[in-house]
Amino acid sequence: MTSRTDLPVSVGSLELESPVIIASGVWPYEAELWSAERLEGVGALCTKAVSLKGRTGNKGVRVWETPCGMLNSIGLQNAGVHAFLNDYLPIVRNARRPFLVNLVMESEREVRESICALREVPGIPALELNISCPNVDGDGMAWGISPGSTAHAVRIARSEWSGALWVKLTPQSPDLAEVAKAAEEEGADALVCGNTWLGMAMDIKKKRLAFQRGVAGLSGPAVFPLALRTVWQVCGAVKIPVVGCGGVSSWEDAAAMILAGATAVEVGSALFTDFDLPRKIAAGLSDYLAEQKIDSISGLSGLGRQ
């Protein structure tokens, strides 16, 4: 971990040594990858999405490269909350960093049951409530589209979970500022803005849509300007910390999101092409702060709004 004193940042009650967070859905549970040596520059990690029961995910093509990005339709494949706690939580703890369990917003009953299971285990620092996955029917993104359903989802999670609660928003909401306010009013501690962008691919050889569900989530550098705009919008709407997520693939991207008002950033697809990216972002930000004569990341946050 870096010994720099300018990078530590607080996101609500979570103290991170760096503002670079590994986004949900990208980091496997291979134990070696959760060692300090492989996580240089990483302030926190989000687990892959966890649901009450295991899910096999979507059939057919799951990933599709696009210009400067990719589409995915994984469909929340995971072993379920109990298998997560038994098999993977010990590996996650080895990272010796704050982590967030990314919890799929399913039905009210399922989410309450999942949180009960997570609550039984001491030392889980935070939940990232996923109301934004575009790759499943009924759950995920369906909750995050409107302020009303967002409020409902956050109210349920908040009533069961007293630890840090982050809510991961979807850029597909036509009313993102109101969605963000609804999550804040229901007690979210921070907002993650946001998840992948709904897209599509046509397989011109097969003359049909590439993905069996038709739609899929777009990520990668291609979405960065879109994500930056939503971060700007959400930061202007709420007082709780906002974590920028979407297409971040360099320290300059991270700096831009933080200048727009983000407290920290999540990095996802860019890790598919560079394991060392968190270290590079952290180092780049630190050099930038020194050059700009700014003491800390929190001093940088929102400066671009003036």
Partner 1 sequence: MNCGGSAPRDYKAKVAGSRVLGDGSCLLAVECGSIASAAEPGQFVMVRPGTCGDPFLGRPLAVASASGEIFKIVYRVVGRGTELLASKRQGDSLVVRGPIGRGFFSARNALPLPKKVILAGGSVGAAPLLFAVRRLGVNSIADVVMGVSGKGWEGFSEWLRESFPGVSLFSDDGTIGMKGTVLDGLPADLPPDTEIWACGPEGMLRAVAAKYPADGARIRVALESRMACGMGGCLGCVIPTASGNRRVCVDGPVFTAEEVLWNDISN
| Enzyme catalytic residues | 133
Q: Verify binding: residue 74, partner 1, rule CB under 8 A.
A: yes
Interacting residue with partner 1 among 13, 15, 36, 68 (CB under 8 A): 68
Interacting residue with partner 1 among 10, 86, 159, 273 (CB under 8 A): 273
Q: Verify binding: residue 53, partner 1, rule CB under 8 A.
A: no
Q: Verify binding: residue 86, partner 1, rule CB under 8 A.
A: no
Q: Verify binding: residue 30, partner 1, rule CB under 8 A.
A: yes
Cα–Cα distance for residue pair 205/132, rounded to 1 Å: 31
- # binding residues, partner 1 (CB under 8 A): 38
x-or-dash string of contact with partner 1, 113-132, rule CB under 8 A: --------------------
Task: Give residues 232-251 in contact with partner 1 (rule: CB under 8 A).
Answer: 249
Interacting residue with partner 1 among 63, 117, 294, 303 (CB under 8 A): 63
CA distances 165 to 41, 187, 273, 274, Å, are 23, 8, 30, 29
Q: Verify binding: residue 33, partner 1, rule CB under 8 A.
A: yes
Q: Verify binding: residue 175, partner 1, rule CB under 8 A.
A: no
CA distances 261 to 101, 209, 239, Å, are 24, 38, 10
* Torsions phi, psi for 299 (to 5 deg): -70, -20
Which residue in this structure is represented by tokens 């809510």? 167
State the minimum distance, in angstroms, from the CB of residue 79 to partner 1.
9
State the minimum distance, in angstroms, from the CB of residue 187 to partner 1.
31
Interacting residue with partner 1 among 21, 45, 64, 243 (CB under 8 A): 64
Q: Verify binding: residue 214, partner 1, rule CB under 8 A.
A: no
Q: Verify binding: residue 66, partner 1, rule CB under 8 A.
A: yes
Q: Verify binding: residue 196, partner 1, rule CB under 8 A.
A: no
State the minimum distance, in angstroms, from the CB of residue 89 to partner 1.
15
Closest listed residue to residue 117, CA positions, set 88, 82, 154: 82
CA distances 273 to 182, 220, 270, Å, are 36, 10, 6
x-or-dash string of contact with partner 1, 136-155, rule CB under 8 A: --------------------
Interacting residue with partner 1 among 10, 13, 15, 32 (CB under 8 A): 32
Q: Verify binding: residue 284, partner 1, rule CB under 8 A.
A: no
Q: Verify binding: residue 94, partner 1, rule CB under 8 A.
A: no
Cα–Cα distance for residue pair 158/154, rounded to 1 Å: 6
Binding site for partner 1 (CB under 8 A): 25-30, 32-33, 38, 48, 56-57, 59-70, 72, 74, 77, 212, 220-221, 249, 269, 271-276
